[in-house]
Chains A and B, each alone.
Chain A
Amino acid sequence: MSLTVENLTVYYQTLKGVVQALEDATFSLDDGEIMGLAGESGCGKTTLGTSLIQLSGRMRYIKGKLALDGQELPIWDNTAMNDFRYKKVSLIPQYAMSAMNPTRKIGMLTRELIEAKKVDFNQVLPELKRRLELVELPEKVLNMYPIELSGGMKQRMVMVLSTLLNPSLLIADEITSALDVSTQKAVMEMLGEFRDRKYVKSMMIITHDISVLYQIADSIMVMYAGQLSEKAAAETIIREPRHPYTKMLIAALPKIGVRYSEQVLSGIPGKPPLLLDPPAGCRFRERCPAAFGKCLQAPPFKEVQKDHFVACWKEFERHA
């Protein structure tokens, strides 16, 4: 087990009150596993991802236990986390295009970051060059400023930079959202390559684009309104989803061979609840066609088949 998370609950402190963005997340990640984290905007996927590396100013750790490679991950302690950041847990941010200081040469800022982590840059340098080659960046980018690189190049540079110290866990947050489809595929394949070469042990790819995940992820975890809905192998999520939300989500994806001018693309009626004061129980209840009385209680995230976790009372009944 590379990463285990138990009952992780993270809220946001806002002027209007407490936003319950992540509720009781319990899941684990195997060594070498690439897990995709999918869900619509505001469902808490970025909250989950970033809380594993850094709680931002408004984020409040409520409860939960985390362990990485058998070691406790103290996300509630900003200073203690510094020992883990970059070396053990690393991040490719949502804003990879602007993640590098614009007034420093890339080689220089890499050196300064590496040395700030008390690692000898000259020892890392040959590996850095090898990895640049792997992502098809010329070595001379080290002598360039970030603005001299195209968006895709910057993205790849940040990928190399973020994984340079071989972290156990890499969180990739919406890294393909700003790229065109063919670049998206290339970036995803590079991430797979990084895993295969053991640059990173396991990976969490956050995106709203399930089709991108399907290309590379071993498993997919679906979230809805701050709660985990379902986690299973990518193939299973696409072919045999169990949670009503996942089912409707997959059904809403466009399919090959269907003319949507003749047949309207299906969606999920309704809107997700506001997380400022969410309803008790299953948060998908109001939009769920299968909802019944028991849904007033929050369902646990339970393994209904090997490696297939679902949070739905209906599914539990079926497997009881």
Chain B
Amino acid sequence: MKRYFTRKVLIYLLTFFIAVTIDWMIPRFMPGDPVLNMLAKAGSVHAEAQEVMYGYLTTAFGLDLPIWQQYFNFWKALFHGDLGVSVLQFPRPVADVIKSAIPYDLLLLIPSIVLSWIAGNKFGAFAARSKKLDNTILPVGYILTATPYMWLGILLGWVFAIILKIFPISGAFSYALKPAFTWTFIKSVLQHWFLPFASLFIVQFGGWAIGMRNMIIYELEADYAHYLEALGAPKRLIRKYAYNNALLPQLSGLALKLGVIVAGAMSTEIVFSYPGIGYLILMAIQNSDYFLLQGCFLFIIIGVLLANFIIDIVFILVDPRTRLGMQGGS
């Protein structure tokens, strides 16, 4: 057990290190000069003043140092929790900018992932029971799971916000309101949350339902199911076993798909101008905001790794085969 965890943690640390290194590299090898961008925005005309400003900002951001030192400084700052200063929202620290976006992200991601996983599994298992349901649900499921997140988002936005005008099309809450702990505000947040949530939920739901349906059919053909049938065990018991066993591959499927889902959430946020990390990334790219971009990616890296780690642990708890395999020390 201990050995297993040490190994897992080491692997996660290594992944973290590589991912963060790539994260640091991406914006630096991107075309465009962030300092020039800032100066252009400031709109100063004086050439001399511009030169001074350029020199000052380059030093301030540490961009004049050799590249290896920049990399080293980056790690050093990271351990101090310092992600740098945002160029886009200068002089706000990146950590601060991200912190204000995180709640919206979690509000979208966690319910959509968890609910679609649970509902999709239940529904897939249900569909596997009858031929009729199977024949109608299966094609729909395939279409849903193949749908790009942002396309469905655009479609939902168009139907429910533009044509039916039931839900707002953009933002996290009404532009007329200020964040406060009041009913009107919470209601507004929920209204704005619904469409992005729905587009994430529906696409994932289709995928899980199909996966579960296939797994159940496979499990019902397993030897233990046939044995129970031969002994006249009720269908309920056999289905229960099949469902429980089918949940395990679905769980590892979740671990595999987390990255895709997070990326999907990004594009959905952009579609609905939902002020989460995805939306921030778009802004950061458009404004060559190295530090913000790095910070956002860092958040995603940590999030995905953490979620994977949690799934690893859950897997050990629910699957005796993994648990016992670990005792063998393999």
Q: Which residues of A contact B (CB under 8 A)?
A: 50, 53-54, 81-86, 90-91, 93, 95, 98-105, 112-113, 116-117, 145, 147-148, 158, 162
Contact = CB atoms under 8 A, between A and B. Distances in A.
Given A145-B324, A147-B324, A101 B230 contact: no
Given A93-B223, A98-B222, A112-B237, A103 B320 contact: yes
Contact of A113 (B237, B244, B320): B237
A101 B224 contact: yes
B245 interface: yes
Nearest to A112: B237
Cβ-closest 8 pairs across A and B: A85-B232, A99-B227, A98-B223, A82-B232, A86-B231, A95-B223, A145-B320, A101-B224
B248 interface: yes
A200 B319 CA distance: 35
Contacts of B230: 50, 53-54, 85, 91, 93
B237 A102 contact: no
A169 to B, nearest CB: 13
Interface of B: 222-224, 226-234, 237, 241, 244-245, 248, 319-321, 324
25 contacts: A54-B229, A54-B230, A86-B231, A86-B233, A91-B230, A91-B231, A95-B227, A98-B222, A99-B223, A100-B224, A101-B224, A101-B241, A101-B245, A102-B320, A103-B241, A103-B248, A113-B237, A116-B234, A117-B231, A117-B232, A145-B321, A147-B320, A147-B321, A147-B324, A158-B227
Nearest to B234: A116
A51 to B, nearest CB: 11
A125 B232 CA distance: 20
Given A113-B237, A145-B321, A102 B232 contact: no
Contacts of A103: 241, 244-245, 248, 319-321
Contacts of A101: 224, 241, 245
Q: Is the interface of A mostly helix, strand, loop or mixed?
A: loop
Q: Is the interface of B mostly helix, strand, loop or mixed?
A: helix
B231 A84 contact: no
Contacts of A100: 224, 227
A94 to B, nearest CB: 9
A199 to B, nearest CB: 16
Nearest to B240: A112
Given A103-B248, A147-B324, A117 B223 contact: no
A84 B321 contact: no
Nearest to A171: B230
A81 B245 CA distance: 27
A116 B229 contact: no
Given A103-B320, A147-B324, A117 B233 contact: yes
Given A54-B229, A100-B224, 13 more contacts: A53-B230, A86-B231, A86-B232, A90-B231, A91-B227, A91-B231, A95-B226, A98-B223, A101-B241, A103-B241, A103-B245, A116-B233, A117-B231
A287 B224 CA distance: 40
A33 B244 CA distance: 41
Which of B223, B245, B319, B324 is most buried by chain A, counting CB atoms within 10 A of its CB?
B223
Contacts of B228: 113
